[in-house]
Amino acid sequence: MSSTSSFSDLDTTSSTDTPGYSRLFTDKTWTDAMVDDDWYNIEEQVAETIHEYIETNLLHYSSPNFAQTLITSVSETLFADWVTFDLCANTDADYDELEQFVKTAYELYMTTEILPPRQQPFCENVPGDKSAIAAQIRRLRDIPQPTQRTKEWHESRYHMITASNISKALGSEAQRNSLIYEKCKPLVIYEGGGGSGSVNTETSMHWGVKYEPVTKMIYEQMYCTQVTEFGCIPHPQYPFIGASPDGIVTDPDHERYGHMVEIKNIFNREITGIPKEEYWIQMQIQMETCDLDYCDFVETRIKEYETVELALADQTREYKGILLHFVRKMLVAKADEVYDGSPHYVYMPLDTPFTQESITQWILSQRAEFAEDYVLFDTKYWYCDEISCVLVPRNRAWFAEAVPVFVETWDTIVRERVEGYEHRMAKKKTMIATDACGNHIIHNMPASGGICLIKLDENGLLR
């Protein structure tokens, strides 16, 4: 399972020899004058051009637009040549027909499994080697994991680029620069191993964190399986690469045994079933790091009822539930303890009857269980408005193409931690604007040692 191959290592000699390949293109319109040999030559030229494009641009396979970009590029290249040699007319109609020809050729090319599809419908289950999967899961379980948010936990992550942000290494120069700068900054661990002391629970990012366990519960119930978390896993060959998968299906009797699970809780965008580029890269790194071949990409849109009455009255939702938001008590006896402001969430099991009596009883039991250290701050009633699940296969050839970039980026981080990284700090632009009265206003002006005068009125208030 662990072998890594490059695109050039793959056998492509059979792409135009596949039975039925040529017979797909028999709708002869502007090529009526061609004989069969001409068709075979053209089809072979199209297949070779597609292969050359993929080989040259394999790193961009991560893009959701890769297929359409390939089809457009190949079509434009061939169209220019074919017009020159009078194989077609220089018209929009002939170009559109050629583009459709190339699209069909690309779809057939991908069925040869030279590369796995970027994503595919979840219903298409692929059997795996259960003994190999079991051995791999045992290896992952045996990897020591420091307790979250401890000094050791922060230090281990400091020495890694994690799957969630490694896509920046393949992005624009500004994105790569930002990644290097952030990883070069000295590690700051607050007393007690906590963070900066405040958590904003109203951001879209926190929304995803808050409802990730809910999506996991829904996935487990939908597919009657078990998903297990494994912490942050270092890559066995490139230990500076780390991944923290949302979970892995660990039920050996399930058809999706060994599938990784990546969860995204959508806050304000459309669910398309097509992973964004950074998500696709994240999943590829997770599969490479854990040496597993498939990842289930699960997107949900979780919404909240405004009142418990609305939640109880709604009988149209298959999945709905309750989330309790607890906050830690600030006791005098624990005044020396660092409080990082993190909320503590408790989720009502999906098999709990959604009735007023059951809900009240469950909430009271949870308040009693956490009464010593926590107080109930808020209660949320949620429902699943939309869910999507697609299968993302592992792409070894893509990783082989990407890993030199990751290695070079990490080497730069290690070097500049010693030699200096300040030159990568983002520079604020000094902007001069003019107001309606013609006054010049300077934004982002560097701070100086001057005196700041604040005018107060006779009551000592700001004017």
- CATH number at 395 reads 3.90.320.10
* pLDDT of res. 59: 97
* pLDDT of res. 451: 38
Whether residue 176 is found in the same domain as residue 147:
yes
CA angle 148, 151, 152 (to 5 degrees): 75
Least confident of 15-24, 155-164, 247-256: 15-24
Q: How far is CA 349 from CA 111, 148, 304, 376, in A?
A: 42, 24, 17, 18
pLDDT at 136 over 80: yes
| Band (41; pLDDT cuts 50, 70, 90) | confident
pLDDT digit string (tens) for 139-184?
Answer: 999 999 988 778 888 899 999 999 999 999 999 999 999 999 999 9
pLDDT at 360 over 50: yes
Whether residue 151 is found in the same domain as residue 85:
no
Region 204-220: what's the mean pLDDT?
93
Whether residue 169 is found in the same domain as residue 289:
yes
**Does some domain include residue 313?**
yes
**Does some domain include residue 202?**
yes
Q: Which helix (H) or strand (E) holds 49?
A: helix 36-56
Whether residue 142 is found in the same domain as residue 57:
no
pLDDT at 338 over 70: no
Whether residue 136 is found in the same domain as residue 107:
no
**Measured between alpha carbons, how far is 428 from 441 in angstroms, rounded to an integer?**
16
Least confident of 169-183, 337-351, 423-437: 423-437
Whether residue 90 is found in the same domain as residue 137:
no
Region 355-365: what's the mean pLDDT?
96
Q: pTM higher than 0.85 for the full model?
A: no
**Does some domain include residue 430?**
no
Whether residue 95 is found in the same domain as residue 190:
no
Q: Where among 69, 84, 115 does a domain terminate?
A: 115
* pLDDT of res. 5: 53
Q: Where among 55, 86, 115 does a domain terminate?
A: 115
Percent pLDDT > 90 in the chain is 63
**Does some domain include residue 374?**
yes
pLDDT at 12 over 60: no
**Measured between alpha carbons, how far is 78 from 171 in angstroms, rounded to an integer?**
29
| Mean of the per-residue pLDDT values of the chain | 84
Whether residue 28 is found in the same domain as residue 80:
yes
Contact in structure between 282 and 295 (CB atoms under 8 Å): no
Region 339-358: what's the mean pLDDT?
90
Q: Which domain holds residue 107?
A: 7-115
**Does some domain include residue 418?**
no
Q: How far is CA 392 from CA 210, 264, 271, 283, 318, in A?
A: 24, 14, 16, 8, 26
* pLDDT of res. 121: 83
pLDDT at 25 over 50: no
Least confident of 147-156, 251-260, 445-454: 445-454
**Does some domain include residue 281?**
yes
Whether residue 151 is found in the same domain as residue 277:
yes
Whether residue 250 is found in the same domain as residue 353:
yes
**Does some domain include residue 125?**
no
**Does some domain include residue 349?**
yes
Q: Where among 411, 430, 456 does a domain terminate?
A: 411
Whether residue 301 is found in the same domain as residue 161:
yes
pLDDT at 439 over 90: no
Least confident of 39-43, 94-98, 160-164: 39-43
Whether residue 371 is found in the same domain as residue 405:
yes
Tally of domains in the chain: 2
